[in-house]
Amino acid sequence: MPIVTDTWRALMQESKSPLALDIYLWLSSRLGSLNAPLHITWEQLYAQFGSQQQSMDNFKKKFRIALETVKEHYPAANVREMGTGQGKNKGFKGLVLRRSVPPEISSSRTS
C-alpha cells in the first residue's frame, strides 16, 4: 500500500486523529486503483469508520473534518461529497471517489 511516511508522521502530529490516519490509509490504497467513480454512502462509511457510541450526524461532522485534514496532506485525492442538502431528499448522499495520483507522487510534503 503506497503511503508516504513523512505524510503519515505529519498527520499523526498535526491532527492527533486516528480517524484521519485511517482515512489516509484507505484513500492511499483505493484511489490509485479505481477504473470508474466509486460511490460510497454515509451508511457504508459509518459501518467502516464509525463507532456505535456516536450518532450519524456526529460521525459525519468528525469524518468531514478528518477528510479535510487528509486532503491537505494528499491534495491530489479526488474525493467529493455529494447530496449535502438538508432533509429527506432522495438521491445519493455520500462520497464519490475518483482515480487519483498516488500520494507519494502528489504529496508536496515528502522529502
Residue 77 lies in a domain: yes
Which grid cell is 34? 479505481
Residue 75 lies in a domain: yes
User: How would you write the pLDDT of the chain (111 residues) with one tens digit per residue?
Assistant: 567 788 888 888 988 889 999 999 999 989 989 999 999 999 999 999 987 778 999 999 999 999 999 999 999 999 999 886 555 556 789 999 999 988 765 444 444
Quote the CA–CA distance of 5 and 44 in Å, as a whole number: 28
Q: DSSP 3-state assignment of 96? A: strand
Q: What is 2-38 written as a DSSP string? A: ---HHHHHHHHHHH--HHHHHHHHHHHHHGGG-SS-E
Burial 61-89 (b: 16+ CB within 10 A, else e): ebbeebbebbbbbbeebebeeeeeeeeee
Residue 39's CATH number: 1.10.10
Q: How many domains does the chain have?
A: 1
Entry pTM: 0.83
Residue 111 lies in a domain: no
Residue 78 lies in domain: 5-106
